[in-house]
């Protein structure tokens, strides 16, 4: 159970991250004029920009979630990191270079540049907000879980800490750090994960071979030492080997205080606040939904109810969802041209490939060292508890602190980027644009995810993030792909596709997150992409065909601009300082000066019309 | 359709329909004719007014480039055809790479399902599924991305060179 040292280490880790964000913000805020900004970002080159993109992309799901899912579900969970990386491959093949040449800074920008329709812009805006909110939930949830696991604080404390750090950054006008600072984020996260994993692997090599090979056994994991588990919520446990333990609390609806025996292949309900005492060597009963036996855990296609359907749907969501995430797109603006955007994306794939080796290994280590987390189902905390259980003493504190710092860096950077995207869109397109409203909008951007977190979501972090990907894949992916490659797309078609595919995905995702469905429906609706993405594409094409007269007159010119080689100089020559996009202007302005200096109403904002 | 002709190795100019080649060649000839006509006017004027024509730089090589780029931007039929040919070429390239990726990814779970023994086979002490999904896919992605970048760059290079000639 948490002691004083854990609390100190956590406070130090969180303060260090807060300080880091403040200092980088200070540095970025000094870079004020447009030439400075361009110099700072363009001099960075694709290598730095790739690290910056990866740094922003690796959120709670990548840092804690994947390790937790691998720990719980085994090799099938590896489809998550595979999908997260494959998303950038799809982005490279269909979107990266043309999107950069379009000069769009946000997704609504792209819609307006390509189809010149204000109403479509609103639809896109709404989906940016929805996706941002869905993506924010796991960040806050992860923060709450981290502090709960390590220091036993209630969940809202961690969520509040992230909100305070991020809001402070935003209010003091230091939101989007320049590329180089953002690029360090990647290296911080990689170090915070790789160093503990290496130390643990070395430690593991010195262990008894019988223990090291216990993952091959056709048995559930077992407790390596006498363990006490207190449940913080009701759970249903599945038992694959007979187990005997002492319990105080409620088991199967009966008050219990004494020895309990469970038979092979049975299921039992254990009430909240019950404490279970296991002897060393006792098999671990695992929470319903996790894989019980180690040998099954090692084998593919063993996790969940419809493994094939679930795998494919996950793959569709992650493969096609990445390109539609609101915070990814703006980063590409740093690249000077389309060709550099492609090289940057290739480097992003390299960086992600390196990073994703570590959550996999740590999930595997967690199965050996922290099986007690399978009892209460807090599998997302696996990485955090690993050094504490495996090492003990000051190395545990040091490495534990490092992991916490990396995790908070992930929460804060992802949350800041998302809140800026959502608040920017809310304050410009939804609320009347004044300074006061940006602050109100920031609070509004936090409010909805906070309600979700407090209501308590039963989903794992990586699964929560996947919902955001599913909605992005069903709404913005068809818009981008068809918009870039098909001249027949119309504004009516785009809106219809986004509303049909994205709307249905949102409904499915909300039902899944509410956890009110039967297990079969839960599997299908928690991963709706395999149905909603084709629906979105289909309705977009069909409605566009029916409204052929609405194809923009200058479609050939726009497509040429998107695809012509950079050295012909046909791409729209818009520098950051000349951005006409409202969100772009505001994000840019805010990134360069303290908020108190900006009067948003003074920024002349016009819907840009192309010359006839 | 003969996909080879759309391949990244194909010369851009050779891929074009003969009609377009002819049209661009015509545009080029028009340009030359106009230029010659201009010179003739100049020499007539010379005889009358005794003015010297001063040539500061030869424009022969730059004229057609500007001409073709203008043609692209002005969306003449030639320009439109040129642009849509490039888009088609790039789209086919992206689709081919995507197809390769999707086929590989989709077949992995199917193979695991049909050959369950593969799940417990080990290479270098690691199980094949873990090796495949935890390690091998990333170099595969990087290889696909790298070869795509090369081909896409070459397509653009060829297009730009061809426009420039």
What is the DSSP code (8-state) at residue A44? T
The pLDDT of residue B73: 64
| Within a domain: B5 | no
Q: Based on the domain organization, do A394 and A499 belong to the same domain?
A: yes
| Within a domain: A582 | no
| Token representation of residue A198 | 């290496």
Q: Based on the domain organization, do A486 and A416 belong to the same domain?
A: yes
Pairwise CB contact (< 8 Å): A89 & B106? no
| Within a domain: B45 | yes
Give residue-wise pLDDT tens across range A343-360. Answer: 999 999 999 999 999 999
| Within a domain: A291 | no
Query: Out of A93, A308, A353, whose CB is closest to B148?
Result: A93
> Is residue B111 exposed (0-12), middle (13-18) or buried (19+ Cβ within 10 Å)?
middle
Best interface-test mutation with A: which of B137, B147, B160, B163 has the largest number of A CBs within 10 A? B137
Range of A462-476, A583-597, B65-79 with top mean pLDDT: A462-476
Length of chain B: 165
The pLDDT of residue B28: 55
| Within a domain: A595 | no
Spatial CB neighbours of A435, under 8 Å, sequence gap ≥ 6: A595, A598, A599, A600, A601
CA-closest candidate to residue A369, choices A153, A239, A196: A196
> Is residue B25 exposed (0-12), middle (13-18) or buried (19+ Cβ within 10 Å)?
exposed
Pairwise CB contact (< 8 Å): B145 & A311? no
Question: Residue B19 — φ and ψ, nearest 5°?
Answer: -60, -40
Q: What is the mean pLDDT of residues A273-296?
A: 83
- Between the CA of residue A362 and those of A36, A366, A371, B160, what are the distances in Å? 42, 6, 13, 49
| Within a domain: A200 | yes
> Is residue A455 exposed (0-12), middle (13-18) or buried (19+ Cβ within 10 Å)?
exposed
Q: Based on the domain organization, do A246 and A306 belong to the same domain?
A: no
| Within a domain: B12 | no
Annotate A113-182 with DSSP letters as a single string.
Answer: HHH--HHHHHHHHHHHHHHHHHHHHHHHHHHHHHHHHHH---HHHHHHHHHHHHHHHHHTT--S--HHHH
The pLDDT of residue A481: 95
Pairwise CB contact (< 8 Å): A567 & B109? no
| Token representation of residue B149 | 């970048």
| Token representation of residue A189 | 């996260």
What range does the domain containing B96 cover?
17-164
Best interface-test mutation with A: which of B112, B128, B140, B159 has the largest number of A CBs within 10 A? B112
A612 pLDDT more than 50: no
| Within a domain: B11 | no
d(CA A402, CA A192): 5
Q: How far is B153 from chain A (nearest CA, A)?
A: 7
| Within a domain: A604 | no
Band (A316; pLDDT cuts 50, 70, 90): very high
Nearest residue of chain A to residue B158 (CA atoms): A565
Query: Out of A89, A92, A308, whose CB is closest to B109?
Result: A308
| CB < 8 Å to B79, chain A | 560
Put simply, whether A111 touches B (Cβ < 8 Å) is no
Give residue-wise pLDDT tens across range A544-576. Answer: 999 999 988 888 888 888 888 877 776 654 443
- Between the CA of residue B123 and those of A138, A308, A358, B126, B132, what are the distances in Å? 36, 25, 20, 5, 10
d(CA A116, CA A111): 7
Give residue-wise pLDDT tens across range A435-459. Answer: 556 777 888 888 888 888 887 766 7
Q: Based on the domain organization, do A74 and A142 belong to the same domain?
A: yes
Long-range contacts of A330-333 (CB under 8 A, 24+ apart): A330/A105, A330/A106, A330/A176, A330/A421, A330/A584, A330/A587, A331/A49, A331/A52, A331/A53, A331/A56, A331/A182, A332/A53, A332/A96, A332/A99, A332/A100, A333/A100, A333/A105, A333/A576
- Between the CA of residue A90 and those of A13, A93, A383, A529, what are the distances in Å? 36, 5, 30, 16
Pairwise CB contact (< 8 Å): A299 & B80? no
Q: Based on the domain organization, do A345 and A429 belong to the same domain?
A: yes
Residue A18 three-state SS: helix
The pLDDT of residue A499: 96
CA-closest candidate to residue A318, choices A111, A211, A465, A503: A465
Best interface-test mutation with A: which of B74, B81, B141, B153 has the largest number of A CBs within 10 A? B141
Using CB atoms and an 8 Å cut-off, which of residues 120-149 of chain B contact chain A? 120, 127, 129-130, 133-135, 137-139, 141-142, 144-146, 148-149
Q: Based on the domain organization, do A438 and A503 belong to the same domain?
A: yes
| Within a domain: B63 | yes
Length of chain A: 612
A610 pLDDT more than 50: no
Q: How far is A115 from chain B (nearest CA, A)?
A: 18
Tally the domains of chain B: 1
CA-closest candidate to residue A310, choices A456, A81, A466, A503: A466
| Within a domain: B3 | no
| CB < 8 Å to A315, chain B | 105-106
Q: How far is A78 from chain B (nearest CA, A)?
A: 6
Q: Based on the domain organization, do A81 and A230 belong to the same domain?
A: no
| Token representation of residue A168 | 């402070």
CA atoms within 13 A on the CB side of A609: 2
Range of A18-32, A105-119, A416-430, A536-550 with top mean pLDDT: A536-550
Q: What is the mean pLDDT of residues A4-10?
A: 80
B128 compared with A579, residue with greater pLDDT:
B128
d(CA A418, CA A445): 9
Put simply, whether A262 touches B (Cβ < 8 Å) is no
- CB atoms under 10 Å from CB of A254, counted, come to 8
Give residue-wise pLDDT tens across range A185-239. Answer: 899 999 999 999 999 999 888 887 777 777 777 778 888 788 888 887 788 888 8
Question: Residue A370 — φ and ψ, nearest 5°?
Answer: -120, 50
The pLDDT of residue A29: 53
Q: How far is B106 from chain A (nearest CA, A)?
A: 7
Give residue-wise pLDDT tens across range A145-171. Answer: 888 888 888 888 888 999 998 888 777
The pLDDT of residue A611: 42
Cβ-contact B9, B15 below 8 angstroms: no
| Within a domain: A580 | no
d(CA B163, CA B17): 15
Nearest residue of chain A to residue B105 (CA atoms): A315
| Token representation of residue A460 | 């794992």
| Within a domain: A26 | yes
A519 pLDDT more than 80: no
| Within a domain: A612 | no
B4 compared with A429, residue with greater pLDDT:
A429
- Of A568, A584, A601, the residue that ends a domain is A568
| CB < 8 Å to B138, chain A | 85, 349, 352-354, 356-357
Cβ-contact A460, A68 below 8 angstroms: yes
B63 compared with A121, residue with greater pLDDT:
A121
Q: How far is B154 from chain A (nearest CA, A)?
A: 10
CA angle A394-A398-A401, nearest 5°?
A: 135
The pLDDT of residue B18: 57
| CB < 8 Å to A342, chain B | 148-149, 152-153
Query: Out of A89, A301, A568, whose CB is closest to B160?
Result: A568
What range does the domain containing A270 cover?
222-283
* Pairing verdict, β B122-123 and B126-127: antiparallel
CA-closest candidate to residue B76, choices B133, B24, B10: B24
As for the ipTM of the complex, it is 0.86
Q: Based on the domain organization, do A129 and A183 belong to the same domain?
A: yes
Tally the domains of chain A: 2
| Within a domain: B87 | yes
- Between the CA of residue A284 and those of A204, A226, A299, what are the distances in Å? 21, 12, 19
The pLDDT of residue A33: 47
For chain B, which residues score pLDDT lower than 50? 1-16, 39-40, 42-47, 58-64
């Amino acid at each position: 159970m948490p002691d004083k040292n854990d609390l100190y280490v956590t406070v130090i880790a969180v303060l260090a991250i807060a300080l880091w964000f403040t200092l980088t913000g200070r540095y970025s805020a000094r870079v004020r004029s447009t030439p400075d900004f361009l110099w700072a970002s363009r001099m960075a080159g694709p290598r730095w920009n790739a690290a910056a993109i990866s740094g922003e992309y690796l959120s709670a799901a990548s840092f804690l979630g994947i390790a937790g899912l691998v720990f719980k579900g085994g090799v099938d969970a590896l489809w998550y990191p595979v999908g997260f990386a494959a998303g950038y491959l799809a982005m490279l093949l269909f979107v990266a270079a043309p999107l950069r040449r379009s000069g769009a800074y946000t997704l609504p920008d792209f819609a307006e540049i390509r189809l010149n329709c204000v109403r479509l812009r609103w639809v896109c805006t709404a989906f940016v907000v929805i996706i941002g909110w869905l993506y924010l939930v796991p960040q806050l949830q992860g923060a709450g879980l981290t502090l709960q696991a390590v220091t036993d604080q209630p969940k809202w404390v961690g969520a509040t800490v992230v909100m305070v750090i991020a809001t402070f950054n935003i209010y003091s006008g230091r939101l989007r750090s320049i590329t180089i600072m953002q690029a360090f984020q990647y290296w911080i996260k990689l170090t915070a994960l790789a160093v503990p994993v290496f130390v643990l692997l070395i430690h593991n090599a010195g262990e008894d071979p019988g223990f090291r090979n216990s993952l091959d056994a056709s048995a559930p994991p077992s407790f390596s030492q006498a363990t006490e588990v207190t449940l913080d919520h009701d759970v249903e446990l599945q038992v694959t080997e007979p187990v005997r333990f002492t319990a105080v609390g409620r088991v199967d609806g009966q008050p219990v205080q004494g020895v309990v025996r469970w038979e092979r292949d049975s299921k039992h309900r254990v009430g909240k606040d019950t404490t279970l005492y296991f002897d060393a060597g006792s098999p671990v009963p695992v929470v319903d939904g996790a894989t019980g036996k180690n040998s099954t855990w090692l084998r593919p296609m063993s996790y969940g109810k419809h493994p094939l359907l679930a795998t494919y749907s996950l793959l569709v969501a992650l493969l096609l969802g990445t390109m539609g995430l609101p915070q990814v797109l703006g980063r590409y603006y740093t690249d000077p041209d389309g060709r550099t955007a492609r090289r940057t994306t290739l480097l992003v794939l390299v960086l992600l490939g390196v990073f994703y080796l570590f959550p996999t290994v740590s999930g595997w280590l967690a199965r050996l060292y922290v099986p007690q987390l399978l009892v209460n189902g807090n599998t997302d905390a696996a990485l955090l508890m690993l050094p504490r259980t495996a090492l003990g003493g000051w190395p545990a504190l040091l490495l534990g602190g490092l992991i916490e710092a990396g995790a908070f860096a992930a929460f804060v950077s992802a949350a800041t980027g998302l809140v800026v995207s959502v608040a920017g869109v809310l304050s410009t397109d939804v609320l009347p644009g004044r300074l006061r409203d940006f602050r109100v909008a920031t609070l509004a951007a936090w409010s909805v995810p906070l309600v979700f977190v407090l209501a308590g979501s039963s989903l794992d972090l990586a699964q929560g993030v996947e919902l955001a990907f599913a909605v992005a894949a069903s709404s913005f992916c068809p818009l981008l792909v068809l918009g870039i490659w098909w001249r027949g797309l119309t504004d009516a078609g785009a809106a219809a596709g986004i509303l049909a595919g994205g709307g249905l995905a949102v409904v499915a995702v909300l039902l899944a997150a509410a956890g009110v469905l039967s297990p079969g429906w839960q599997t299908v609706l928690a991963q709706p992409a395999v149905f909603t993405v084709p629906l979105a594409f289909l309705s977009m094409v069909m409605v566009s065909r029916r409204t052929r007269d609405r194809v923009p007159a200058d479609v050939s010119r726009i497509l040429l601009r998107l695809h012509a080689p950079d050295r012909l100089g046909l791409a729209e020559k818009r520098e950051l300082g000349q951005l006409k996009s409202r969100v772009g202007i505001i994000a840019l302005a805010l990134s360069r000066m303290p908020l108190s200096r900006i009067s948003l109403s003074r920024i002349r904002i016009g819907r840009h019309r192309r010359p006839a | 359709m003969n996909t080879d002709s759309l391949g990244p190795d194909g010369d851009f100019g050779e891929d074009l329909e003969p009609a377009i080649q002819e049209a661009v060649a015509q545009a080029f000839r028009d340009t030359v004719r106009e230029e010659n006509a201009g010179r003739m006017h100049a020499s007539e004027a010379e005889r009358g007014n005794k003015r010297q024509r001063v040539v500061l730089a030869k424009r022969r090589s730059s004229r057609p480039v500007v001409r073709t780029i203008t043609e692209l931007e002005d969306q003449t039929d030639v320009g439109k055809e040129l642009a849509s040919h490039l888009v088609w070429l790039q789209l086919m390239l992206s689709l081919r790479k995507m197809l390769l990726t999707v086929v590989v990814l989709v077949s992995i779970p199917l193979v695991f399902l049909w050959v369950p023994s593969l799940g417990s086979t080990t290479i270098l002490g690691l199980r094949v599924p873990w090796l495949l999904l935890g390690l091998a896919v990333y170099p595969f992605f990087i290889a696909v991305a790298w070869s795509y970048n090369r081909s896409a760059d070459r397509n653009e290079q060829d297009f730009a060179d061809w426009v420039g000639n």
